[in-house]
Structure 1
Amino acid sequence: MISWFHQQRLDAVHAAVMQSGATSVLDLGCGEGHLLTRLAEEPRIRRIVGIDLSRPALDRLRGRLDAAPHKTGAHIDLIHGSLVEVGLSFRNFDAALLVETVEHVRPEHLSAIERSVFGTMRPRLVVITTPNAEFNALLGVPRHRFRHPDHHFEWDRAMFGRWVGGVAARNGYDVVRHDIAGRHTVLGGASQMAVFTLRDANDPLPAMGQEVAG
């Protein structure tokens, strides 16, 4: 059973992937595969790779895929490991998804995530969702705490905007942000989503720290 808020996150990311026309997807931090199994049911999706640090979660996902009543036409690989350690073999995917993942990464390691996803993998679409700290008051979360003990940070919308804007500028992507998972007129949604689109796959990759005008 997943929460209404998480269902809304999955709906938003699923829609972004399908609107992009992607046929190959990297689900980075796939967990038990609530999103991966949905995408596997889409006839257009031909290849999916799920990567996660939790072996038990991947084992549960394998069980769900084996027990699925309708076998998918997609080729699916599940990999135990860190998304910063994957190599150029994942460079030619259409989309990479990080759903409620980056907040589990220590802030000092975010640059490694950026290099791995936007530099090495370099898909034409990247979708990232993360909790919106402004919404925490509506969830009864005290200001001195995060929603989950494994979170290393939770950004408000201004902080998230600065980070995704910098990532997009440094790596030649355009980015659009959305409030998702419920919407409060002042506080936004429970989560926030950034949809990155590669400007030109043939452009040379900017050096880290070099901003791209646009």
Structure 2
Amino acid sequence: MRAEPAMSTGMHRDRLDAVLAALRESGARSVLDLGCGDGALLAPLLGEPWVERVVGVDAHGPSLARLRRRLTEAERPERARLIEGDFTAPALAQGLGGFDAAALVEVIEHLPPERLSAVEAAVFRRMRPATVVLTTPNAEFNALLGTPPSRMRHPDHRFEWGRAQFARWCQGVAARTGYAVALSCVGGAHPALGGPSQMATFSLGRG
């Protein structure tokens, strides 16, 4: 197996730390990990004492199989449930209501842009958790990673946004669905180009 570059590994840790901190600060006790993959976020969540319940959803069966083995080996599967499927499917999304928070870590850029309306409907209207934490690459930072303007950071990415594009989408979602949103850089911030990832924390009003 090829080792991940040190810079990429560090960026990934920074991202997970930022998402965990945002979920912790939200006061969540139950968390949806949407697009959970093989558990990069879900496994650390189970190590947090404030987490009572986690559900991971992913359409990629082999990733879930690896995660299921990982949970069994850790002997902590009793608080976690794994679901194979497309979290934007209306029937599945409708059954995932009632959670305190949802996380989408580097997920939306793997979807065709025309499916973002389905993400909005599923997460912000059907599931409707009190907090949604979402990260995606910052395309402006690609120049510092040596990624040519004609390419994206990963071959599976369907799009990558700069900060202004991300802000417009997030603010539009928030306005349409009744959430407030706060935007931040993840992994430090270049004075002109921002950080390698960008994060949105959506919150429903309480009161």
TM-score between both structures, scaled by the size of structure 1:
0.89
Q: CA deviation at 1:108?
A: 0.6
Contact 2:94–2:122 at 8 Å: present in 1 too? no
Tell me, in whole angstroms, the C-alpha distance in 1 between the residues paired with 2:181 and 2:65.
34
Runs of 4+ residues deviating >6 angstroms: none
Name the amino acid aligned to 1:192: Q
Q: Give deviations 1:35-86, integer Å, cap 9, x for gaps.
A: 1000111122111000011111111111111112xx4486211111101121
Contact 2:28–2:51 at 8 Å: present in 1 too? yes
CA distance 1:51–1:73, shift in 2 (3 Å)? closer
After TM superposition, the structure 1 = structure 2 runs for residues 74-89 of structure 1, keeping only pairs within 5 Å, are 75-85=79-89, 86-89=92-95
Computed over aligned residues only, the root mean square deviation of the Cα atoms, in angstroms, reads 1.4
- Secondary structure of the residue that 1:51 maps to in structure 2? strand
Contact 2:87–2:93 at 8 Å: present in 1 too? no
Tell me, in whole angstroms, the C-alpha distance in 2 between the residues paired with 1:34 and 1:74.
18
Q: CA deviation at 1:185?
A: 1.4
Q: Give deviations 1:166-206, integer Å, cap 9, x for gaps.
A: 000000000000000232111111000000001248xxxxx
Name the amino acid aligned to 1:176: A
Partner of 2:123: 117
Gaps of 5+ in 1: 202-214
Contact 2:104–2:133 at 8 Å: present in 1 too? yes
Identity of aligned residues (%): 54
Partner of 1:134: 140
Partner of 2:113: 107
Name the amino acid aligned to 2:114: E
Q: CA deviation at 1:87?
A: 3.3
Tell me, in whole angstroms, the C-alpha distance in 1 between the residues paired with 2:87 and 2:178.
21
Name the amino acid aligned to 2:202: F
Tell me, in whole angstroms, the C-alpha distance in 1 between the residues paired with 2:132 and 2:54.
14
Deviates more, 1:71-80 or 1:117-126: 71-80
Gaps of 5+ in 2: none
Tell me, in whole angstroms, the C-alpha distance in 2 between the residues paired with 1:131 and 1:87.
25
Name the amino acid aligned to 2:122: S
- Secondary structure of the residue that 2:41 maps to in structure 1? helix
Partner of 2:48: 42
